[in-house]
């Protein structure tokens, strides 16, 4: 390509020709466009107790059709996250275990719990069904399994300030992205032998925050981790209420029969069916003491 006299003079004099500046600007803008062309993004991760327990082709069939399910107490409980192809964003495996320990503390405070085991989610196969759940229950010698499932949606949109990203410097300094995270967790407690859902407790959280373009991933990770933690805390509080409601429903509706693990009789809070309770013994001793004092 031949250059005209002015362009040759500009090259000799060290000045950049206009056509080269224009080409450079076009390349720079094209690079910026490729960096920020996805102005709105939405992604989600989830695990489903229904998909795990009832894979395609498997129908719901209670293990004790036509009979009142019997739950043995004090219970031995397994606690585990439902398997998923994608882990919740911003929450490591160690952090998930720590969150399960909080749920474990809620169960441990109940009088009908003998022991509770935190089960690694690697033991559950995706869409393993009740057959897989029964295998894991036998492995850990538990009667009830609390399945913790989750749904998390992360969305980011560019706001009016994002136009300043075209300066490139703005990508590092301007909060032109709106990030929103919504998290839902649910704990469903099943009696494994009878395949009966005893009770469930949900927990939710939603939060948002602005970020620069280069900090989008970092901000999403932080918001998602915080949201998952708060949703788990909310679920744990609701779990306490769900356990109390379950006790009332058992007495009033009789949909589940509570059986003492040791005696085989009806479960009585604080002891075995048909046996004398500690508080009854205490009352007898106090009464006997009063009688002796009067005599």
Q: Is the peptide bond before 31 cis (omega within 30 degrees of 0)?
A: no
Q: Exposed e or buried b for every residue in 271-284, given b needs 16+ CB within 10 A?
A: bbbeeeeeeeeeee
Q: How much is the average pLDDT of 28-39?
A: 46
Among residues 189, 197, 242, which one has the least CA distance to residue 77?
A: 189
Which helix H or strand E contains 273, and what residues bound it?
none
Residue 231: per-residue pLDDT: 95
Stretch 46-65: mean pLDDT, rounded? 78
- The pTM of the whole model exceeds 0.85: no
Average pLDDT estimate for 62-89: 81
As given in the structure block, the two tokens for residue 113 are 């719990």
Task: Specify the higher pLDDT residue, 37 or 52.
Answer: 52
* Cα torsion through 101, 104, 109, 113, rounded to 10: -150
What is the per-residue pLDDT across 170-213, written as a single tens digit (0 to 9) for each? Answer: 776 777 688 899 999 999 999 998 888 999 999 999 998 876 77
DSSP SS3 for 89: coil
Q: Which residues contact 251 (CB under 8 A, 6 or more apart)?
A: none
pLDDT for position 37: 47
Percent of the chain scored above 90 by pLDDT? 33
Q: What is the mean pLDDT of residues 16-39?
A: 47
| Segment 280-295, tens digit of pLDDT | 444 445 454 544 455 4
| Close Cβ partners of 88 (under 8 Å, ≥ 6 residues apart) | 45, 96, 150, 152, 183, 224, 228
Instruction: Please answer whether residues 186 and 149 qualify as being in contact, where contact means their C-beta atoms are separated by less than 8 angstroms.
Output: yes
Domain boundaries, the chain: 1-37, 41-285
Q: Are strands 177-191 and 196-211 parallel, antiparallel or unpaired?
A: antiparallel
Quote the tokens at residue 216.
Answer: 């989008």
pLDDT at 269: 61
């Amino acid at each position: 390509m031949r250059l005209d006299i002015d362009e040759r003079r500009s090259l000799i004099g060290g000045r950049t020709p206009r056509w080269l500046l224009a080409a450079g600007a076009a390349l720079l803008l094209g690079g910026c466009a490729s960096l920020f062309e996805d102005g709105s993004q939405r992604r989600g991760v989830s695990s489903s107790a229904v998909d795990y327990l009832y894979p395609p082709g498997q129908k719901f069939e209670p293990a004790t059709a036509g009979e009142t399910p019997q739950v043995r107490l004090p219970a031995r409980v397994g606690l585990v996250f439902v398997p998923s192809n994608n882990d919740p964003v911003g929450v490591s495996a160690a952090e998930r275990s720590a969150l399960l320990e909080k749920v474990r503390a809620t169960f441990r405070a109940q009088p009908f719990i003998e022991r509770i085991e935190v089960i690694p989610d690697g033991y559950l196969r995706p869409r393993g069904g009740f057959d897989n759940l029964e295998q894991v229950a036998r492995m850990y010698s538990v009667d009830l399994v609390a399945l913790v499932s989750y749904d998390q949606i992360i969305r980011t949109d560019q706001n009016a300030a994002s136009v300043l990203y075209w300066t490139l410097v703005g990508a590092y300094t301007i909060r032109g992205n709106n990030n929103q995270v919504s998290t839902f967790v649910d704990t469903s407690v099943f009696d494994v032998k009878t395949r009966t859902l005893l009770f469930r407790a949900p927990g939710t959280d939603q939060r948002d925050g602005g970020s620069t373009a280069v900090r989008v991933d970092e901000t999403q990770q932080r918001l998602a981790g915080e949201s998952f933690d708060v949703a788990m805390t909310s679920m744990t509080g609701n779990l306490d209420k769900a356990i109390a409601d379950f006790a009332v429903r058992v007495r009033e509706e009789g949909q589940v029969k509570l059986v003492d693990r040791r005696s085989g009789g009806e479960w009585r809070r604080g002891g075995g069916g048909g046996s004398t309770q500690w508080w009854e013994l205490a009352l007898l001793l106090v009464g006997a003491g009063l009688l002796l004092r009067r005599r």
